[in-house]
Amino acid sequence: MSRGEKSMWKVTSVSLSRYEAKVDPRGIAGYRRVDESMETPTWTAVKQYIERLDGQRCTEMSLDGPNEYHMTIGGGPDRFFVSVIGNDLGPYDLLGPDPSDEPEKMILGGIETDLPRRFHATREQTLQAAEYFFYHGQIDPNLNWQLG
């Protein structure tokens, strides 16, 4: 089945988290998490969410489907961490072009994280993985994944 063909599997929702500056009544500065979500998104909407990941304030999103299948994408704008899990799938983490175990910082879910460079996927890899998951609910067999 090609990417454009319809299948029985369907992403049911997509969500995006961003972090906004705030000051509480005591004058303590910090950030608050603001979530956005969309039910039964189109591929265009999902792609727009991915493009909003900036690696600073907007660093986390997920695609959810039936059977508790989920894809999470973190980071941005040019390096991403992508993971897929389902009740009979994975977890699988997308491997980027650098096979190194050397840690490099990435902001995931608003938290600076040391992540081995092998898990830093490119924008192109991330879009390809997300599009395949959107249409098929599986990991793209044309990309490299590590079973966690």
Structure tokens at 46: 């999902």
Q: What percent of the chain has pLDDT over 90?
A: 74
pLDDT tops 70 at residue 113: yes
The pLDDT assigned to 1 comes to 43
Q: What percent of the chain has pLDDT over 70?
A: 95
pLDDT tops 60 at residue 58: yes
The pLDDT assigned to 116 comes to 98
User: What's the average model confidence in pLDDT over 25-53?
Assistant: 91
pLDDT tops 70 at residue 7: no
User: What's the average model confidence in pLDDT over 69-76?
Assistant: 96
CA atoms of 108 and 60, how far apart (whole Å) = 6
User: What's the average model confidence in pLDDT over 26-44?
Assistant: 89
User: What b/e readout covers 40-75, taking b as 16+ CB neighbours within 10 angstroms?
Assistant: ebeeeebeebbeebebebbbbbbbbbeeebbbbbbb
Q: How confident is the model at residue 27 (pLDDT cuts 50, 70, 90)?
A: confident
Choose from 4-18, 23-37, 93-107 the range with maximum mean pLDDT. 93-107
User: What b/e readout covers 87-124, taking b as 16+ CB neighbours within 10 angstroms?
Assistant: eebbebbbbbebeeeeeeebbbebeeeebbbbbbbebe
**Mean residue pLDDT across the chain:** 91
